[in-house]
A and B are shown apart, each in its own frame.
Chain A
Amino acid sequence: MTTTADEATRGSATRAVTARPEAPKPSGLVYLGLAGLAVLAFIIFWVTRDSGEILLIPLGFVTLWAPLYPVIGLAVMLLTLLVCYRARVGTMGGFGALAFITMSYWAGSTVNFTLLEIPSRWSNVEPRLRAFLDPNWSYIWTVRDQWLITISMAVVATLIGCAIGLVLAMLASPVSSPNKGVSQAIKAVNSVIRSIPDVGWALLFVAFIGGTAHGLGPMAGVLALLMFNIGIVAKLLSETIDSVNPGPVEAADAAGANLTQRNRLAILPQVLPGFVSYGLYVFELNIRASAALGIVGVGGIGSAIMLQLNRFAFENVAAILIALIVVVLLVDMFSMYIRRKLL
């Protein structure tokens, strides 16, 4: 018993003697350069600062002053570099950390991002917040027709959008398209469709065919959501097609299948779970988007929200928003259930 214990201790002792390889030390010179960059950024922040707040540093015989926020920024940057150096993060990692802080400082100061404003505007916030926290429950049921329109819009746009998106995705992916030219052209079309946001499409269609004022709100809404869905489904699905297992595709080719048959028999079954899950995803997006689209004049629950906001009836808006949260949660749970059954 004792001998084995002895052996164990001796074993561990000999093991402790063997040297462990150390993480390579990052180059101190490069880190010094990074610190130089931090100082440079500090000077730029100093020169371009908007805030006049000043930090006074009394040293006894003389009092130094410095601009408050750039100094805080510099301190954070140098501290980060120090931590990175001590943790032996590589020089690229140190540079990344520095860049992250510099960029967020720069971007935040450009838009004057600060939370300090909120308390000073509390008198403005409070009555509205109070109305929001006391929703008019009885109002929820009175907008049921708008809900029906919203959901119908989402269903139609999702079904048609997914069908068109499937065809465009098949044409866009080099794996399933007839040739490179078609694939590139369809990809370009897809990028254009996707570059216009859903609200942009809604504004366009409201302008072209008329909105709620002409009784065509849902029509414009469906078209806007449709374009929005085509863009998303075509993009996500064509990327899924890019990464299908090429084996069955080759087998279909070797059996003499034509392009359509090959895509239907070898590619579609492989991407079907993804396709259905993208369809459920855009359905969710459609429900959510219809709340925003009402503002630009397409039908659905968004127009009800807009109407109540214009009347400063925040308790009614709150009721609709709570119903929106519930509906989105229900749709989310439903799609999670389907996805689980499917995958």
Chain B
Amino acid sequence: MITFENIDVVYPNGFKGLSNVNLQIDKGEFVAIVGLSGAGKSTLIRTVNGLVPFTSGTLKVGDEVVDPRSKAKLRRLRSRVGMIFQSFNLVTRVSVLNNVLVGRSAETPTWRSLLGWYRAEDKELAFKSLERVGIVDKAYMRASSLSGGQQQRVAIARVLAQDPEVILADEPVASLDPPTAHKVMRDLRRIQQELGITTIVNMHHLDLARSYADRIIGMRAGEVVFDGPVEEATDAVIEEVYQRSLTAEDIVAGDAAAESSAAGDAAARDSATEGAVTERSVPAAKAQD
């Protein structure tokens, strides 16, 4: 469970990234954060693992209170919180397996990392993670030789190798073409359901958010202006979040396979996470003020 209490983020240049954010994200939830660029989506996600330090308020991940000033504590926290990036952030010159093993850093002694001599069980975990995203056969290929979608799956495997409680994904499909975007989102959704990992995803494609998430959080100017289950996030509500009418840019459109599987996902979601969607600190009604 992740709890934000009155979280503010003020950047060193004085820009206010987040203001008075109160959220509670339950264990195993799949949350999509939507908003225009600059609305504070990335800042919100990055406060969770301390990549952006918050300036006031209290943030808890599980039972642990996040302390952005303690490097050791942050490292321990980050070992439990995996992160996926828009640009994959792989080391393209080394093998897929070595990229995945970066996820084992927190559990690996420094001398082993220096020599690149990983324990057999760490390697096995890396292979398992690759298996879960279906590219275990590419383990010894250079990361740069993979396609965009495959690279993002390597990044997901890197996160899985951490054996995380939480996955943060910052625009994970924004640089992928629509069919690949759907595939990667399906992978994320499947992993969240199979392993019960809390997943928070930033996205600007509304249709993806609606088809894969349980809950949508709308942000504007560093504030949470909508928070509710997918069913409540109607076009009118999102237009209120964006402060403009929806355009073709807001959807990724999809492929037939994605449509059908999204329907299946929706059904699975209804049965799997009913009841998780309970009371919200910021109800939808507020967004419509």
B-binding residues in A (CB < 8 A):
247-248, 250-258, 260-262, 264-266, 269-270, 272-273
- Whether A256 and B76, one on each chain, are in contact in the complex, defined by CB atoms closer than 8 angstroms, is yes
- Whether B51 and A251, one on each chain, are in contact in the complex, defined by CB atoms closer than 8 angstroms, is no
| Cross-interface CB contact of A253 among B51, B90, B103, cutoff 8 Å | B51
Q: In whole angstroms, what is the CA distance A251 to B170 when docked?
A: 12
Chain B CB count within 10 A is highest, among A250, A257, A258, A262, for A257
A-B contact pairs, 24 of them (CB 8 A): A247-B85, A248-B89, A251-B158, A252-B105, A254-B51, A254-B78, A254-B81, A255-B78, A255-B82, A255-B83, A255-B105, A255-B106, A255-B162, A256-B106, A258-B110, A260-B110, A260-B114, A261-B105, A261-B108, A261-B114, A264-B114, A265-B113, A270-B93, A273-B93
Scan B75-96; emit 1 where CB is below 8 A from any A CB, else 0.
Answer: 1111101110101111101100
Of chain B, the residue at the smallest CB distance from A251 is B89
Give the residues in chain A near B98, CB-CB below 8 Å.
265
- Whether A269 and B91, one on each chain, are in contact in the complex, defined by CB atoms closer than 8 angstroms, is yes
- Whether A250 and B89, one on each chain, are in contact in the complex, defined by CB atoms closer than 8 angstroms, is yes
- Whether A265 and B51, one on each chain, are in contact in the complex, defined by CB atoms closer than 8 angstroms, is no
- Whether B162 and A256, one on each chain, are in contact in the complex, defined by CB atoms closer than 8 angstroms, is yes
| Cross-interface CB contact of A257 among B81, B90, B102, cutoff 8 Å | B102
Chain B CB count within 10 A is highest, among A254, A261, A270, for A254
- Whether B87 and A255, one on each chain, are in contact in the complex, defined by CB atoms closer than 8 angstroms, is no
Q: In whole angstroms, what is the CA distance A273 to B51 when docked?
A: 29
| Cross-interface CB contact of A269 among B82, B85, B89, B93, cutoff 8 Å | B93
Given A260-B113, A264-B113, are A255 and B89 neighbors across the interface (CB < 8 Å)?
no
Give the residues in chain A near B102, CB-CB below 8 Å.
248, 251-252, 255, 257, 265-266
- Whether A255 and B103, one on each chain, are in contact in the complex, defined by CB atoms closer than 8 angstroms, is yes
Give the residues in chain B near A253, CB-CB below 8 Å.
51, 78
Give the residues in chain B near A256, CB-CB below 8 Å.
75-79, 105-106, 162
Q: In whole angstroms, what is the CA distance A270 to B91 when docked?
A: 7
Given A253-B78, A269-B93, A272-B93, are A261 and B87 neighbors across the interface (CB < 8 Å)?
no
- Which B residues between 53 and 80 are near A, CB-CB below 8 angstroms? 75-79
Scan B217-251; emit 1 where CB is below 8 A from any A CB, else 0.
Answer: 00000000000000000000000000000000000
A188 to chain B, nearest CB (A): 25
| Cross-interface CB contact of A258 among B75, B159, B162, cutoff 8 Å | B75
Give the residues in chain B near A261, CB-CB below 8 Å.
105, 108, 110, 113-114
Give the residues in chain B near A255, CB-CB below 8 Å.
78-79, 82-83, 102-103, 105-106, 158-159, 162
Give the residues in chain A near B88, CB-CB below 8 Å.
247
Q: In whole angstroms, what is the CA distance A247 to B76 when docked?
A: 21
Total chain B interface residues with beta-carbon distance under 8 A: 32
Q: In whole angstroms, what is the CA distance A255 to B156 when docked?
A: 12
Q: In whole angstroms, what is the CA distance A272 to B88 when docked?
A: 21
Given A248-B91, A264-B113, are A254 and B49 neighbors across the interface (CB < 8 Å)?
yes
Q: In whole angstroms, what is the CA distance A266 to B88 when docked?
A: 13
Is B155 in the interface zone, CB < 8 Å from A? yes
The 4 nearest A-B residue pairs measured at CB: A256-B106, A247-B89, A257-B105, A256-B79
Given contacts A260-B114, A265-B113, 15 further A-B contacts (CB under 8 A): A247-B89, A248-B102, A250-B89, A251-B158, A252-B105, A254-B49, A254-B78, A255-B105, A256-B106, A257-B102, A261-B105, A261-B108, A261-B113, A265-B102, A269-B91
Given A261-B105, A272-B93, are A254 and B75 neighbors across the interface (CB < 8 Å)?
no
Of chain A, the residue at the smallest CB distance from B105 is A257
- Whether B105 and A258, one on each chain, are in contact in the complex, defined by CB atoms closer than 8 angstroms, is yes
Of chain A, the residue at the smallest CB distance from B76 is A256
A31 to chain B, nearest CB (A): 43
Q: In whole angstroms, what is the CA distance A177 to B49 when docked?
A: 21
Give the residues in chain B near A257, CB-CB below 8 Å.
75, 102, 105-106, 113
Q: In whole angstroms, what is the CA distance A291 to B220 when docked?
A: 68
Q: In whole angstroms, what is the CA distance A251 to B102 when docked?
A: 9
Scan B112-133; emit 1 where CB is below 8 A from any A CB, else 0.
Answer: 0110000000000000000000
Give the residues in chain A near B93, CB-CB below 8 Å.
269-270, 272-273
Of chain B, the residue at the smallest CB distance from A247 is B89
Give the residues in chain B near A258, CB-CB below 8 Å.
75, 105, 110
- Whether A254 and B83, one on each chain, are in contact in the complex, defined by CB atoms closer than 8 angstroms, is yes
Give the residues in chain A near B106, CB-CB below 8 Å.
255-257
B57 to chain A, nearest CB (A): 21
Q: In whole angstroms, what is the CA distance A270 to B102 when docked?
A: 14
Given A255-B105, A256-B105, are A248 and B90 neighbors across the interface (CB < 8 Å)?
yes
A263 to chain B, nearest CB (A): 9
Of chain B, the residue at the smallest CB distance from A273 is B93
- Which B residues between 119 and 167 are near A, CB-CB below 8 angstroms? 155, 158-159, 162
Q: In whole angstroms, what is the CA distance A253 to B78 when docked?
A: 8
B73 to chain A, nearest CB (A): 11
B46 to chain A, nearest CB (A): 9
Q: In whole angstroms, what is the CA distance A273 to B144 when docked?
A: 15
- Whether A250 and B113, one on each chain, are in contact in the complex, defined by CB atoms closer than 8 angstroms, is no
Q: In whole angstroms, what is the CA distance A264 to B159 when docked?
A: 19
Give the residues in chain B near A247, CB-CB below 8 Å.
85, 87-90
- Whether B78 and A269, one on each chain, are in contact in the complex, defined by CB atoms closer than 8 angstroms, is no
Q: In whole angstroms, what is the CA distance A269 to B76 when docked?
A: 25
Give the residues in chain A near B159, CB-CB below 8 Å.
255
Give the residues in chain A near B103, CB-CB below 8 Å.
255
B64 to chain A, nearest CB (A): 13
Give the residues in chain B near A272, CB-CB below 8 Å.
93
A66 to chain B, nearest CB (A): 61
| Cross-interface CB contact of A266 among B77, B83, B91, B168, cutoff 8 Å | B91
Give the residues in chain A near B87, CB-CB below 8 Å.
247
- Whether A269 and B105, one on each chain, are in contact in the complex, defined by CB atoms closer than 8 angstroms, is no
Chain B CB count within 10 A is highest, among A256, A261, A269, A270, for A256
